[in-house]
Amino acid sequence: MQDNRRGHYDPNRQFQPYVFRPNFMKNQDGEKKQQGRKVIDWTGACVNTMMSRRFKRPLKDKTCFQPLTSSILKAETPGSLPYLPANSVTTRFVRTATNKQKCPVYQIVWTPDGRRLVTGAASGEFTLWNGMAFNFETILQAHDQPVRAMCWSNDGIWLATGDHQGYVKYWQQNMNNCCMFQAHKDQPCRGISFSPTDAKFASCSDDGTVRIWDFYHHTEEKILRGHGSDVKKVDWHPHKGLIASGSKDLQTPIKLWDPKAGKSITTLHCHKGTVMDIQWNKNGHWLASAARDHLVKVFDIRNLKTHYQVLRGHRKEASSLAWHTQHEGLLATGGSEGSIIYWMIGEDQPVGQVDGGHESLIWTMAWHPLGHVLATASNDHSTKFWSRQQTTEIVAKDYPKNETEILAEISKQVRLETGIEEQEAEREIEIPGLDGFEEGAPPNVFQSMASEYYNNSEQTFRTGLTLHNTPAPMEELPSFEKKKAFSKPVPKEFASAWDSNREGEGNIPDKNNPGNSGGFNAGSNQRFRQELHPYNPHMPHRGGYNRGGRGGRGGFNRGGHHHNNHHQFNNRDQHHGGQGRNLPSQGSNYVQWDGR
């Protein structure tokens, strides 16, 4: 019996792919095949960051872009790349999270550890979604009315939420409800924000007031009045006793409050529409606001006489915004048309944009604590997750062509602008290998070249060599004006020396006589003379004209085996060298002419 255990090969077993087996389609149960879920696991990035921060690495030693999937363990978190905020622009869609009960999602917050996302919907339910695989985990009935406000304390222990009837509830990390009281009578609680010490928090409502509460005793301490209409958002300064609120009142769109004195410090007349969202930057200097006048404005509290920057990009109302958790200059904004725009403070143009991210108004958005994922909640009953682009996707999107094609297009465009393409089209180059070297030749040289070569005439011209009476293109350049070496023509004595009959060498045989196996014919003599090029004084002659000479490598072999012929001429027309006949040593023929 053969061993068919795993790892052992059975030669008698005939393997057949599963899909090609008989009756494959008939045996299907009709169930949907399971597909892998998109997962964003930040464990490897966190471990790599913790290991690399044991010593301070130079900036040039950092990874600029995310690595490929094969080396995902070497990925860097946005916090480890403070000099590269563009790497944290999350324009890649990951997943859509939707409850079975379709209703708008008004508020979302990440848990402090980033493991889950908590969403508050119009049904009053809390839905918990996994922070890596973004799948559904659990759902609970938190409020009897729509959830309109959610905020974690700075220490990450407590979660405060407010509903449409003005009730506020405290929640522990395990979603255990500990306390409930009514902060605003019969009016929606629009926003909640904790103080830096977590001892107090502020709430705002459609009753036009901002109220300060003692968190531990859930008692009201101050009522801040000054807005003439609904207060849509409130945010406590991250370091100081300063509160910012945005309202529907066009006379007092944004106000800054002193929570201790309970008075207004100043009013920012900045928007011509309802302020939908405001948020302090973690540096404590910048305050961003989004309004229905399609504008997003950034203020610096060190100089409130004018706005710090105006961000124009939304086609409709700007409804929400969120500062990045790691890069203080990166801001994400959402509009009522469903678009998401990413801004860098100091730049007028967006660094990233997602058109049609949602089908309706984006109520709120929240960054993951690590800053690599952005979650958005919309009026289209969905919550969507957006992540950073991978390196391969960036290249495929922004650089669809390789470097060679890009350089070729740039070169072609430059040549068209300078007129080089038209000049080359007029040349009509027909001989390969002579591109650019035919400018100095007569116009008829290329038309008559083929006929002259095959007619074996006196003006034979071989491809790749310049005519003697035609200046080479290199001589026309300015750098070669003073260097005209080898410009003298071949002496007539040199030509006549080869054509003349010398004593003891016999007559030149007839080329039409095939019986003559020694010597060389007149045609080969003339052709050999034409091969002496003035730019190459050591032009070797390697066969091709030997008739019957066995093993001869030169044009003067008279039936001998091997020989060496050296013919040297100088400007004094002197002939030096011997004529080897049937020498046993192997050699080569070359002719040298000194043009000095």
Q: Using one digit for the tens of pLDDT, what is the confidence trace for 272-287?
A: 999 999 999 999 999 9
Helix (H) / strand (E) containing 159 = strand 159-163
Structure-model confidence comparison of residues 392 and 335, the more confident one: 335
User: What's the alpha-carbon Rg for the chain, to the nearest Å?
Assistant: 44
Which is more confidently placed, 585 or 379? 379
Burial class (CB in 10 A: 0-12, 13-18, 19+), 322: buried
Q: Mean pLDDT, to the nearest integer, of 233-246?
A: 96
- Pairing of β 177-182 and β 189-194: unpaired
User: Parallel, antiparallel, or unpaired: how do β-strands 136-141 and 125-130 relate?
Assistant: antiparallel
Amino acid in position 9: Y
Confidence at residue 124, expressed as pLDDT on a 0 to 100 scale: 95
Q: Are 185 and 196 in contact (CB under 8 A)?
A: no
User: CA 1 to CA 3: how far, in whole Å?
Assistant: 7
pLDDT in tens, 98-146: 998 999 999 999 999 999 999 999 999 999 999 999 999 999 999 999 9
User: What residues contact 503, with CB distance under 8 A and at least 6 apart?
Assistant: none
Supply the pLDDT for residue 560. Answer: 42
Band (pLDDT 50/70/90 cuts) for residue 49 is confident
Assessment of whether the complete model's pTM goes beyond 0.85: no
Q: Which residue has the tokens 């003006």?
A: 459
**What's the whole-number mean pLDDT along residues 320-335?**
95
Which amino acid is it at 502? R
What's the pLDDT score for residue 501? Answer: 52
Residue 305 reports pLDDT greater than 90: no
pLDDT digits (tens, 9 = 90+) for 415-467: 565 565 555 555 544 445 444 444 445 555 445 554 544 454 444 444 444 44
Tell me the pLDDT tens digit for each residue of 167-195.
999 999 999 999 999 999 989 999 999 99
In whole angstroms, what separates CA 208 from the centre of its chain? 48
Which burial class, exposed, middle or buried, applies to 15 when counting CB atoms under 10 A from its CB (0-12, 13-18, 19+)? exposed
